[in-house]
Structure 1
Amino acid sequence: MTIRHQSFGLKHLSLLFTATVCVLPGLQPASAASAPVYTEQGKQWTHAARLQYYSQDQGSRVMPLQWFLALKQANGKPFLDDSLSRYGYLPNPDSKTQGLPVGFTVNGNAVGMTCSACHTRQIEADGKAYRIDGGPAISDFQSFAADLDSAVGRMLDDQPSFDAFAAAVLGGSPSAEQKTKLRKEVETWYLPYHTIMSIALPKDKPWGPARLDAVAMILNRVTGLDIGTAPDHIIKSNIHLADTPVRYPFIWNAPIQDKTQWPGFADNGNDLLGLSRNYGEVLGVFADFYPEKAPGQLLGFDYLKHNSANFDGLKAVENLVKKIGPPAWPWKEGKWAVNAKLAAQGKAIYESPTQTENGGCAGCHGIRDGIPRALNKTWATPLCYVGTDPKEFELFGLTVDTGVLAGAKIPFLEKPLKAKDENAVRVLSMVGMGTLLQHTKSPKTLDLELKAQTDLGLIERLAGEARAAKDRKVKEISERLLKKQADMVTADNAQLKGAYQTMQAPPSPQQAGGYACKDKFTDPTPAIAYESRVLQGIWATAPYLHNGSVPTLAALLEPAQNRPVEFKIGPAYDPEKIGLAVEQSKFDYVLKTTDCEGANIKSGNSRCGHEFGTRLSKQEKAALLEYLKIL
């Protein structure tokens, strides 16, 4: 989950123009049955790569596959009916398990989710559907997660429903003992799932399609469900309302950015940092993970024993993402074809050295060398405060109990965790670094741990030895390992320190001191700043701003007070305004945004900020938009 988010957004030429343009003939939704047109995304992005991307396992474990297939909706239809297209997920006719959509995978007996579920987009215009791989999904994850919770709860509460479920899962006429065992297994699964969904999902202001609060849900999952000292591992008080939705990012240039996540708190740009980024994602989408104290491990904790993450799969996904190119504008001829002369005029505006209301986008969004990562070349991803909604930074002020991880540390990289009132992001950092250091440790480390574990095994087998003597020997072994911890930290893996950076406290907009940029998350003022990504393929990524509060690129060229107060979200596409069409039929959802007055600017849904290009003439705006189609 994984969790990275923001970009240069733009908007309707004026509210009047928006109001007068209804559904144009070219903007009618495509037939659900029509095969998509795949946009051009570079020679490396082959059909074989696409199919692997759609189903590559990463270690996510939603639930046993047979349960998933047996569950029913409230209307009695299978939960998997329509391949989950009601939530915006896309059909995958090549799935080895019939009915599973793009981004849903099977490993062993479990169904899980993978990167492509949230990073594959399909838009509709001119009666056709256009597929954009690596684009932000127009899917409603909150409704999917909440309905899955309701389906299981409803089945457990209704005996006939449970009996039908048991018959489907177990086959034939299962015995009472078999059904009792199955019920206990389902209840064990349901307890943590229902706990997090009932507390974290916002009920009065749902995320809606194309958005989710990824960082909060990862923090909730790790600190609320995975590190408790009780047998169920739950620390209910660590779960917070996830009410800071951001839009899914596009990922075709994610591997080369020098920072990622919308606030830019994650260093990025090489394979190890990419693995860290993707590992954080799988922790948020149903990985099985329970760290435990382990005196035979160099770090004193075992982060891998109970960990379903598929590290080979995570690496495979990263290698696939490196092959995804930005999508080419799909209309080569006809009324939506690019006007080359107008686009050339827009290029000059885009590359203007002046970053003002009159243009100059490239100053923040242009391609330039970033911070090198282990000799890897990167693109700079400056962090800029441009007056947009700062609510996401409240996540850096969340504190939690650390449960089983109290006292965990990584010499030179992460100081010991306090038992209570610890920064939640620091807990995620400890888990991420601890897991990857344990996963990538050297042969020397393995030999040392093997000897320690052998010694511990001998101690356990010593008959009749006093408990105090055993404890003393275990302590000696642990201390010997602790003295060697520094050997795990090399020049290469020390970069993990920047994988999850924290703040002392959430900042206020006043601290930013107006529009300004910084190159590092840890730089001083401005404290509130979101990543300004290179804008290749930006035409395919609406809605805009990090929180998805502006529906089109044309709209973002208007002052905040002139942007739509509310709009529908769905796949119907407007090629003229470049973004979401006014009318949508896929979802019954309207995003209501807030203005810039008082606390409204930090509602999570504020349409404020990023007022660049707002003083361009109508002709200049049209030229800039034309260039953004081919960027």
Structure 2
Amino acid sequence: MAFRHHTNSKQSRRWLGWLALLLALGAALAAFGWYQLFREEPQHFDSVEAYYRYGSIGTESEEGLPYWVWRVLPGLFPQHLPGEGEDEGYAALGIVWEEGEPTPVGFSLKTIGFPRIGINCAACHTATYRTAADGERRIVPTGPHQTFDPQAYLRFLGDAAADPDFTADTLLAAIQEETELSWLDRLLYRFLIIPRTRDGLREQAERFAWTEERPRWGPGRIDPFNPVKFHPDLLALDPAEDDTIGNSDIMALWAMDAQEGHALHWDGLNDSLTEVVLSGAIGDGARPDSLPVEALEELAAYLRHQRPPPYPFLDTLDRQMASRGEVLFEETCAGCHGPDGARTGTVIPQAEVGTDRHRLAMWTAEAAERYNAYAEEYPWDFDAFVKTDGYVAKPLTGLWLRAPYLHNGSVPTIEDLLRPTEQRPEVFYRGYDVYHPARLGFIHTGEAAKRYGFRYDTREPGNGNAGHEYGTELPAEDRDALVEYLKTL
């Protein structure tokens, strides 16, 4: 009996040893897997403006793409890029890439296990302009992006992932031309990262299939809330998809200190800049537990004090005419758009302003209620979302760089906006960033605009250019004087 007990003890110790070894190996594999796939390395920036351009807003873990896969896609699948212009790669989608940077403006590069790329606020809210076709492209943080086409970007990613050549062999060969992966990284990319990326992009394309049944967004526009409403894993703001069209011009985010207490967004659905910034990050793909709340608070402070550049043709300004225009502005426009206007920053009923109402139908009372209930479990909260019945009368800071005009970007210039609806362009091209020095808007007709721009048809649902006929009754010389003054704002 003693011998048997001794033998059982030895066997027990042996099994315990094997169990301990297996547990240690399991822990080591888990730690290794965490390090290779999930470890998070902090980003470092010298300024809040650099963070605005390239910093993470928390989108990389769920909606981000493996950087090296993303990097090689345009070269591998150029047939899926849009346009007939001379721009190649991601530039064909209107994306702006500064020389020497690893990512375009508005795209963050962050290591979460492996390098990942995600979108941030600057992807849509960074303006560009040129004073001549051969002139330098100027980049203006917090301005409205005129050239980036978010819908075309999503389509490109989906089409690339659906291409038969989206394989580990093809992508790894292209990646090896860009960087040297270790043998272990090559295994991870071949058997895990690339297949998961392909599946994820295909799933994303299916989630955005509803956009194919509605008018195109085009460059400088986006449907800001339907993508969140219809996303099954985000807010699920509505139980089922509807047929609403939310196509909206991208807004300027500068000088937000002048809008403290104002109704924000085109329809005034919230008056809290903090909530707008946080909900914007969620709309771009961040999750509540991935939001860098403190960094986004610094970003909101940056938006309050950022200012647009002056009109680039001020040396041609007719000062006498502009002075006359200032008087007309005070008489005609200041009540709704002046710094101290009684209605500045308030919601003007759609029945009064008369502009396209599709954007209003997109945002529902149920959506506002669910947004406000979304963050109750977190230290930050939403409680300022509301449903409105009109559009906000905005202050006109940096008006020259906010073309095209109205909430859906349906009027190409201020000169056109000061004409009755029937005299405004029915069809024009938007997305060409060469500025017209006289008309207060970008060049939107002619061969260059057609080649580089997007054909905007005001007869399509959501694209209507009617309404806001304030000032249209002025004599031609008064309209010209008013345009001259508006160049100075």
TM-score with structure 1 length normalisation?
Answer: 0.60
Q: 1:256 to 1:439 in 2, by over 3 A?
A: farther
- 2:42 counterpart residue number: none
The answer as to whether partners of 1:552 and 1:579 remain within 8 angstroms in 2 is: yes
Q: CA deviation at 1:313?
A: 2.3
Within the alignment, does 1:319 sit opposite 2:261 as a pair? no
Q: CA deviation at 1:203?
A: 5.5
The answer as to whether partners of 1:83 and 1:101 remain within 8 angstroms in 2 is: no
**One-letter code of the match for 2:323?**
A
CA distance in 2, matches of 1:548, 1:625: 18
Aligned length: 420
Q: CA deviation at 1:116?
A: 1.5
Q: 1:111 to 1:368 in 2, by over 3 A?
A: same
Within the alignment, does 1:328 sit opposite 2:310 as a pair? yes
Q: Secondary structure at the match of 2:230?
A: helix
- 1:478 counterpart residue number: none
Q: CA deviation at 1:285?
A: 1.3
**One-letter code of the match for 1:153?**
A
The answer as to whether partners of 1:388 and 1:610 remain within 8 angstroms in 2 is: yes
The answer as to whether partners of 1:217 and 1:242 remain within 8 angstroms in 2 is: no
CA distance in 2, matches of 1:388, 1:178: 50
- 1:123 counterpart residue number: 129
Q: 1:171 to 1:154 in 2, by over 3 A?
A: farther
Q: 1:308 to 1:239 in 2, by over 3 A?
A: farther
Within the alignment, does 1:142 sit opposite 2:27 as a pair? no
Q: CA deviation at 1:146?
A: 0.9
The answer as to whether partners of 1:71 and 1:78 remain within 8 angstroms in 2 is: no
Q: 1:155 to 1:314 in 2, by over 3 A?
A: farther
Query: Can you list the C-alpha shifts for 1:285-319, whole angstroms capped at 9, x where unaligned?
Result: 122x3xxxxxxxxxxxxxx4xx3222122112212
- 1:562 counterpart residue number: 423
The answer as to whether partners of 2:67 and 2:116 remain within 8 angstroms in 1 is: yes
CA distance in 2, matches of 1:284, 1:156: 31
Please, which of 483, 486, 489 is the counterpart of residue 628 of structure 1? 486
Q: 1:51 to 1:177 in 2, by over 3 A?
A: closer
Q: Any residues of structure 2 matched to 1:497-536 within 5 Å, and which?
A: 497-498=383-384, 500-502=385-387, 521=388, 527=389, 529-536=390-397
Within the alignment, does 1:51 sit opposite 2:50 as a pair? yes
**One-letter code of the match for 1:116?**
A
- 2:170 counterpart residue number: 161
Q: CA deviation at 1:625?
A: 0.1
The answer as to whether partners of 2:48 and 2:298 remain within 8 angstroms in 1 is: no
- 2:271 counterpart residue number: 267
Within the alignment, does 1:101 sit opposite 2:68 as a pair? no
Within the alignment, does 1:84 sit opposite 2:90 as a pair? yes
Q: 1:175 to 1:560 in 2, by over 3 A?
A: closer
Q: CA deviation at 1:153?
A: 2.4
Please, which of 180, 193, 196 is the counterpart of residue 185 of structure 1? 196
- 1:280 counterpart residue number: 279
Q: 1:53 to 1:580 in 2, by over 3 A?
A: same
CA distance in 1, matches of 2:471, 2:327: 13
CA distance in 1, matches of 2:305, 2:476: 37
- 1:539 counterpart residue number: 400
Q: 1:382 to 1:124 in 2, by over 3 A?
A: same
- 1:412 counterpart residue number: none
Q: Secondary structure at the match of 2:298?
A: helix
Q: Any residues of structure 2 matched to 1:311-460 within 5 Å, and which?
A: 311-333=293-315, 337-352=316-331, 360-368=332-340, 380-385=345-350, 386-397=353-364, 423-431=366-374, 433-434=375-376, 438-440=378-380
Q: 1:105 to 1:147 in 2, by over 3 A?
A: same
Q: 1:185 to 1:625 in 2, by over 3 A?
A: same
Task: Please identify, of 615-624 and 105-114, the stretch whose mean Cα deviation from structure 2 is larger.
Answer: 105-114
Q: Secondary structure at the match of 2:322?
A: helix
CA distance in 1, matches of 2:149, 2:216: 10
Please, which of 243, 246, 271 is the counterpart of residue 245 of structure 2? 243
The answer as to whether partners of 1:202 and 1:241 remain within 8 angstroms in 2 is: no
**One-letter code of the match for 2:324?**
Q
Q: Secondary structure at the match of 2:118?
A: strand
CA distance in 2, matches of 1:227, 1:169: 40
CA distance in 1, matches of 2:476, 2:341: 33
The answer as to whether partners of 1:83 and 1:90 remain within 8 angstroms in 2 is: no
Alignment gaps of 5+ in structure 2: 1-45, 82-86
CA distance in 1, matches of 2:188, 2:335: 68
Q: CA deviation at 1:608?
A: 0.3
- 2:39 counterpart residue number: none
CA distance in 1, matches of 2:296, 2:157: 25
Query: Can you list the C-alpha shifts for 1:551-608, whole angstroms capped at 9, x where unaligned?
Result: 00000011101100100112121121110212316635210002xxxxx7xx200010
Q: Secondary structure at the match of 1:590?
A: strand
**One-letter code of the match for 2:95?**
Y
Q: Percent of aligned positions with the same letter in both sequences?
A: 23
The answer as to whether partners of 1:103 and 1:113 remain within 8 angstroms in 2 is: yes
Q: CA deviation at 1:162?
A: 5.7
**One-letter code of the match for 1:253?**
A
- 1:225 counterpart residue number: 233
- 2:437 counterpart residue number: 575
**One-letter code of the match for 1:552?**
T
Q: CA deviation at 1:425?
A: 3.5
The answer as to whether partners of 1:124 and 1:573 remain within 8 angstroms in 2 is: yes
Q: Secondary structure at the match of 1:530?
A: strand
CA distance in 2, matches of 1:319, 1:620: 39
The answer as to whether partners of 1:368 and 1:380 remain within 8 angstroms in 2 is: no
CA distance in 2, matches of 1:203, 1:587: 24
**RCO greater where, 1 or 2, for CA within 8 Å and sep 6 or more?**
1
Query: Can you list the C-alpha shifts for 1:355-403, whole angstroms capped at 9, x where unaligned?
Result: xxxxx111111112899xxxxxxx74343430000011222349xxxxx
**One-letter code of the match for 2:265?**
Q
Within the alignment, does 1:605 sit opposite 2:488 as a pair? no
Task: Please identify, of 124-133 and 236-245, the stretch whose mean Cα deviation from structure 2 is larger.
Answer: 236-245
Query: Can you list the C-alpha shifts for 1:15-35, whole angstroms capped at 9, x where unaligned?
Result: xxxxxxxxxxxxxxxxxxxxx
**One-letter code of the match for 1:395?**
M
- 2:71 counterpart residue number: 69
- 1:60 counterpart residue number: 59
Alignment gaps of 5+ in structure 1: 1-46, 229-234, 269-273, 290-303, 353-359, 372-378, 399-422, 441-492, 503-520, 522-526, 595-599
The answer as to whether partners of 2:263 and 2:269 remain within 8 angstroms in 1 is: yes
Query: Can you list the C-alpha shifts for 1:156-206, whole angstroms capped at 9, x where unaligned?
Result: 765753664787896559888973334553355335412212x23235631
| Higher fraction of helix | 2
CA distance in 2, matches of 1:338, 1:76: 44
The answer as to whether partners of 1:135 and 1:249 remain within 8 angstroms in 2 is: yes
The answer as to whether partners of 2:355 and 2:467 remain within 8 angstroms in 1 is: yes
CA distance in 1, matches of 2:74, 2:143: 31
- 1:213 counterpart residue number: 223
Q: CA deviation at 1:48?
A: 5.0
The answer as to whether partners of 2:357 and 2:462 remain within 8 angstroms in 1 is: yes
CA distance in 1, matches of 2:330, 2:189: 68
TM-score with structure 2 length normalisation?
Answer: 0.77
Q: 1:227 to 1:332 in 2, by over 3 A?
A: closer
Q: 1:54 to 1:174 in 2, by over 3 A?
A: closer
CA distance in 2, matches of 1:236, 1:48: 39
Query: Can you list the C-alpha shifts for 1:300-342, whole angstroms capped at 9, x where unaligned?
Result: xxxx4xx322212211221221221132112242xxx211110
